[in-house]
Structure 1
Amino acid sequence: MDIKEDTRKRAMLLHYSGEQMEGRILSHPALSGTLFLAVTVAIAWFIRDSCKVDNFPQKHVFITGCDSGFGNSLARQLDQKGFHVIAACLTEKGASHLASVSSPRLKTLLLNVTDSAGIGRAVEFVSAKVKGRGLWGLVNNAGRSIPIGPSEWMKLEDFATVLDVNLLGLIDVTLQFLPLLKKARGRVVNVASILGRLSLTGGGYCLSKWGVEAFSDSLRRDMQHFGVKVSIIEPGFFKTGVTRLDLIEADLRRRWNHLPQDVRDSYGAQYFDDYTKAQDLSMGILCSPDISKVTSCMQHALTARHPRSRYGAGWDAKLFWIPLSYLPSFVSDFVVSVLLPRPEGERR
C-alpha cells in the first residue's frame, strides 16, 4: 500500500512540475515574444511566397536547351499554363519533337548558345513575337558536362569547351536579351548546380557553375533598379543528358587511354576502374528521375510575384550538398575523399 501511495505521489509531483515548467516557459515574455515572432514571420513568408502574377497568356518566355531534360519539360509545362513559349533547341530533331507534343502557341527555333550571331537572330525572332510588350522570362538552361573528371586529365581546350556553353554562352544570351527583359520588367532564371557551391570533380563544369552563381548575383543587384528579377536554380543530381553515365565514362576512358604513361602510373592501373565504379554507385544512389522538382522551381521563379533569389532542387541538394557547402573546407574535402578512390601512389 505504501509503495502504491508513494508512486501516486511521485506521479502527481511530476505532473505538477511539468505544468509549472510549461507555465514558466509560456509566461516568459522574451520566449513567448520570440515564438510569436517566428510563427508570424513563417506565415508571412508563406503568404508572400504564394502570391502569383496574372495574365499568363500575355507573357512570353524564352528557354534555351529544350531538346530534352529540364528545358523540354519546362517548355511543355508553361505551354499548358497558357504562356507564349519560345523554345530554343540545338537540333532539328529536338525542335520537331517538342513542337509535335505542344500547342500551336509554342514556337521553336534552333540555337547554339556559343554562336553570338545566332543569338542576335533569336533576339530578332523574339522581338517580332512580343510586339513591343517585352520579354517576361528568360530561362538559361542550355548546358553540358563533358568533359568532366580529374583536372590533370584535361587540356585547356577541354575547359574552354564547357565554359563556352555553360558560362559565356549564358552571359551572351542574357546580355543580348536584357533590353527586352527591361521593357517587360521580367525575369531571368539561370540554371546553376550544387556543383556551383562545391567542386566535387575537375574539368570545366564546376568552374562554369560557380561563374553562373557569381554572374547571377551581380546581375540581380544591377537589374533590381529596373524591376528585373534574377533567380538561380541549384539542382542536385537528376537523370538527364548531363548525367548520362555511358557518355561520361566513354569520355573518361578516352582521356585515360591518352594520358602519358607516367601520369597513369602515378594513379595506378586500378584507379580508372575504381573511379568509374565509385561514380556509378554515387550517381545511381543520388540521381533522381523526377525532374519536376527542378521545373517547379523554375516555374515558381517565373510566376511568383516575389521570386526567390535561389532555389535548391532535390532532396540531396537541400539536405546534404547545400548544408555541406557552408561547413569548413576540411569537412567537404573529407566527404569527397570518401566518395572517390585514392591514387595508388597516395595509398603508399
Structure 2
Amino acid sequence: MWLYLVALVGLWNLLRLFRERQVVSHLQDKYVFITGCDSGFGNLLARQLDRRGMRVLAACLTEKGAEELRNRTSDRLETVILDVTKTESIVAATQWVKERVGNRGLWGLVNNAGISVPSGPTEWLNKQDFAKVLDVNLLGMIEVTLNMLPSVRKARGRVVNVSSVMGRVSCFGGGYCISKYGVEAFSDCLRRELSYFGVKVAIIEPGSFKTGATSRDWLLPSVKMLWDQASSEVKESYGEKFLLSYLTNINLLDQICKEDLSLVTDCMEHALTSCHPRTRYSAGWDAKLFFLPMSYLPTALVDAFFYWTSPKPAKAL
C-alpha cells in the first residue's frame, strides 16, 4: 500500500516538473511591463528578463532610478516614470505601453510597486497612515491592472501580482498586511474571471528579504515618528520599554532578511515564461516552512504564538 502511494507521489512530481519546465516560445517578441523598478525585486527582474532577451517596459518612480536601470541594461529595455497613486500618471503610462506593444498586446504585467511604512501598533496610527500604504500596494495596483487589462487580454498574457507572507499571516499593524490580504483576494477573483480569455494570474508571496520596503532605515524612523505623535495616554499605556522592544524586533528582522532577491525574481520569471505557471509562488525558506504552515493552523494557536513572542505593553493584563 505504502509503496503504491510513494510511487504515485513520485510520478505526480515528475509530471509537475516536466510541465513546469516547458517554456513559452518566442520570448524575444514578448513585452513585459513592471512597476516599481527603481530598486529591489522590480529592478532585478527588469535586468533578469532583459538578459533573457524579452522586451522590458520598466516603470520607475524617479528619473534617477530610471537612468540607473537603463545604464545597466540593453537598448531593448525602455523606462517610463509612473506614480501608481496618481490616475493621470497611470493613464499616461498605459498609453505609452500601447504605443510600444501595438497589436501584439502586452504579454506580462508585473505589479511589484509597494511600500511598508507607516507601520506600527494599530493604536499609534490614524486613517491617513493606512490610506498611504493602501493607495500604493492595493488601490494603485488595481488601477494599473484595470488600465492594462485590454492589452494583456489581447496577448492572452500573464498578470503577476506581488503579495507577501503577510497576506497570509498578519504580524504587525498598519496598512501593509491589509493591502497584501487585498492583493490575494483581488488576484483570486481576477484569475477566475480572466481564465475564459486564456490569461493566467500568478501571486508571488515572498518571505523576509532585504528591500527598500523592509529596510530598517525606513521602518525605525517611521515607528519613532509614530511614537512621537502618539497621545500621552497611548504612551503611558504602552511605555518606553515596549517601544525599545519593538525597535529591537525590527533590528532582528533586518538581520534575518535574505539578501538574495533572485529567489523571488526567479519565481516571477517562471510565472512569465512557463507554459504552465503556478497559481502561487512562496519564495524563501521562512515562507515555505514557517508562514505558509502557520496560515493553516487554528487561529487560537497563532494568536498564542504572537502573544508570547511579542513585546508587552506596560499596562498589559
Quote how far apart the aligned CAs of 1:234 are: 0.2
The answer on whether the counterparts of 2:84 and 2:141 sit within 8 Å (CA) in structure 1 is yes
Kindly provide the CA deviation profile for residues 232-282 of structure 1, in whole angstroms up to 9, marking residues without a partner as x.
000001000001112211111111011111111111222111110122123
- 1:21 — aligned with what? none
- Aligned partners of 1:279, 1:81: CA distance in 2, in Å? 36
- Aligned partners of 1:300, 1:112: CA distance in 2, in Å? 27
Identical aligned residues as a percent: 52
Specify which of 10, 16, 31 is matched with residue 45 of structure 1. 16
The question of 1:128 aligning with 2:99 is answered yes
Q: Which runs of 5+ in 2 are unaligned?
A: none
The answer on whether the counterparts of 2:219 and 2:250 sit within 8 Å (CA) in structure 1 is no
Task: Evaluate the alpha carbon distance shift between residue 31 and residue 269 of structure 1 in structure 2; reply closer, same or farther with a 3 A threshold.
Answer: closer
SS at the partner of 1:311?
strand
Amino acid of the structure 2 residue aligned with 1:94: G
Amino acid of the structure 2 residue aligned with 1:64: T
Amino acid of the structure 1 residue aligned with 2:156: R
- Aligned partners of 2:146, 2:91: CA distance in 1, in Å? 10
SS at the partner of 1:257?
helix
**Normalized against structure 1, the TM-score is what?**
0.89
- 2:77 — aligned with what? 106
- 1:117 — aligned with what? 88
- 1:336 — aligned with what? 306
The question of 1:66 aligning with 2:6 is answered no
Quote how far apart the aligned CAs of 1:334 are: 2.4
The question of 1:306 aligning with 2:276 is answered yes
Quote how far apart the aligned CAs of 1:51 are: 0.9
Quote how far apart the aligned CAs of 1:299 are: 0.3
Amino acid of the structure 1 residue aligned with 2:175: G
- Aligned partners of 2:102, 2:248: CA distance in 1, in Å? 53
* Counterpart mapping for 1:244-263 below 5 A: 244-263=215-234
- 1:230 — aligned with what? 201
**Normalized against structure 2, the TM-score is what?**
0.98
- Aligned partners of 2:9, 2:267: CA distance in 1, in Å? 25
- Aligned partners of 2:217, 2:29: CA distance in 1, in Å? 42
- 2:237 — aligned with what? 266
- 2:258 — aligned with what? 288
The answer on whether the counterparts of 1:159 and 1:203 sit within 8 Å (CA) in structure 2 is yes
The answer on whether the counterparts of 1:188 and 1:230 sit within 8 Å (CA) in structure 2 is yes
* Comparing 30-39 and 254-263, the one that deviates more: 30-39
SS at the partner of 2:315?
helix
- Aligned partners of 1:213, 1:301: CA distance in 2, in Å? 16
The answer on whether the counterparts of 1:69 and 1:240 sit within 8 Å (CA) in structure 2 is yes
Larger Rg: 1
Amino acid of the structure 2 residue aligned with 1:239: K
The answer on whether the counterparts of 2:220 and 2:250 sit within 8 Å (CA) in structure 1 is no
The answer on whether the counterparts of 2:37 and 2:43 sit within 8 Å (CA) in structure 1 is yes
- Aligned partners of 1:86, 1:51: CA distance in 2, in Å? 24
Kindly provide the CA deviation profile for residues 58-113 of structure 1, in whole angstroms up to 9, marking residues without a partner as x.
10000000000000000000000000000000001000000111101000000000
SS at the partner of 2:311?
coil
The answer on whether the counterparts of 1:282 and 1:339 sit within 8 Å (CA) in structure 2 is no
- Aligned partners of 1:318, 1:217: CA distance in 2, in Å? 20
The question of 1:345 aligning with 2:315 is answered yes
- Aligned partners of 1:238, 1:282: CA distance in 2, in Å? 9
- Aligned partners of 1:139, 1:256: CA distance in 2, in Å? 35
Quote how far apart the aligned CAs of 1:337 are: 2.6
SS at the partner of 2:301?
helix
- Aligned partners of 1:289, 1:196: CA distance in 2, in Å? 21
The answer on whether the counterparts of 1:73 and 1:295 sit within 8 Å (CA) in structure 2 is yes
- Aligned partners of 2:243, 2:3: CA distance in 1, in Å? 59
Quote how far apart the aligned CAs of 1:40 are: 1.4
Task: Evaluate the alpha carbon distance shift between residue 183 and residue 79 of structure 1 in structure 2; reply closer, same or farther with a 3 A threshold.
Answer: same
The answer on whether the counterparts of 2:215 and 2:254 sit within 8 Å (CA) in structure 1 is no
Specify which of 173, 180, 187 is matched with residue 144 of structure 2. 173
SS at the partner of 2:210?
coil
* Counterpart mapping for 1:82-231 below 5 A: 82-231=53-202
